[in-house]
Amino acid sequence: MPAPQPVRGTHDLLPDDHRRHRHVVDTARAIAERYGHEEVATPIFEFTEIFARSMGETSDVVSKEMYSFEDRGGEGLTLRPEYTAGICRAFISNGLMQNVPFRVFAHGPMFRYERPQKGRQRQFHQIDVEIIGAAEPQADIEVVALGWDILRALDVADKCVLQLNTLGDRESRTAYRAALVTYFSARKGELSEDSLARLERNPLRILDSKDRGDRVVVEEAPRFADYLNDHSRDFFAEVRRGLDALGIPFAHNERLVRGLDYYTHTAFEFVTDALGAQGAVIAGGRYDGLIETLGGPSTPGIGWAGGIERLAMLADGAPSRRRPVALIPIGEAAEAETLRLAHALRDGGEVVELAFKGNLGRRMKRANKVNARAAVIVGDDELAAGAATLRDLDSGEQRQVPLGELAAALRASA
């Protein structure tokens, strides 16, 4: 019988991978806390309509990529493909209107049925940042700055480029949408099947089509900047001034869009080509109409999500594991004493490796295998003296240390 394998598009987070993963999460959490964001967690699955409303029933994610199922009670449920909709649902269902601006940080697994590729799996993980209830451009600046600071803390900011655009307010977006429909309708014969379908429901999505024929048509499409009203131009100018003041470099990408109507004003992505083809490691924007779309009161919001796998790959090496101390008993009496000693040292904050069997030679091999920094050897002679032999496994030096002074000696040699 062949060995069991993980489901395609999933992967095991073994110790080195998990340390990289945890490093990204811990770094992001620490930076988010400095910005006043508190951590939340929402369920891994929600009612399917939450995502159908928030992402659009005809979007590729909803129509092709979601893991949806009917539970035993006949309810339509979906494993979350992204975090924002669930956080906005939680904001509505828990009546948090009095808590605005609601600053949150979250992380966890997401699920999308798509072709697995480097840094992108069917079960993947994201960090997520949201500010709900702030309509001012200062919130946009702050959210982008938070992402930038996380990239700097991970030492990957120099591998990323911030791309920035404005989607305008609803009035500007409506005017631009009409201009796109007119333009693309006149060139229907040159569009791909996917773009023809988008023309009817989501013409802005044509702008980020990867089809070569579509790209030719898009090059001559109307520019969003020509349809922005004064309020939208002023809002975007304020965001750019704020980023300049903070020394955060960016490139204006007029083709960076979000297809759904509740997206407004700022859209942005931190992109990199260090992982192969250019791709986003953090992407976000303002979604002033989303909570209303989900059935809540009209409430502005802005946020972003970052791919943990991609960020971990970009950050390169895993943080070092804390080197343990190996406890090595020799003889039956020492077995009981080292069990007590291991507990006391762990209680004091040491990482302790205690093998369960083997002679001195075998246990020393195990200590070297786990890269222990020191070995604490306890035999009959040590027990009689109320001491332990402390051996530095880097230098080879060893000495006897009274058991009562062992913890202090280990701290001093760390």
Strand partners, 165: 267
Q: Is residue 83 marked as binding?
A: yes
Instruction: Label residue 274 exposed, middle or buried (CB < 10 Å: 0-12, 13-18, 19+).
Output: middle
Closest CA to 157 of 275, 316, 314: 314
Distances in Å between the Cα of 79 and the Cα atoms of 68, 108, 167, 253 are 7, 12, 29, 32
The reply to whether 112 sits in an annotated binding site is yes
First CA to last CA distance, the chain: 48
Report yes or no: 91 and 293 within 8 Å, Cβ to Cβ. no
Does residue 263 have a known ligand-binding role?
yes
Query: Count of CB atoms within 10 A of residue 376's CB?
Result: 28
Q: Is 67 annotated as a binding residue?
A: no
Question: How many Å is the maximal CA-CA distance in the chain?
Answer: 95
User: Does 272 count as an annotated binding residue?
Assistant: no
- φ, ψ of residue 94 to 5 degrees: the values are -100, 5
The answer to the question of whether 113 is labelled as a binding residue is no
Identify the H or E element spanning 318.
Answer: none
Q: Does 130 show up as a binding residue in the annotation? A: yes
262 is in an annotated binding site: yes
According to DSSP, the β-strands at 102-111 and 123-132 are antiparallel
Confirm whether residue 258 is marked as ligand binding.
Answer: yes
Helices (H), ranges, 119-273 = 137-153, 170-185, 193-201, 212-219, 230-245
Residues tagged in the binding site annotation: 82-84, 112, 126, 130, 258, 262-263
Residues tagged in the binding site annotation for L-histidine: 82-84, 112, 126, 130, 258, 262-263
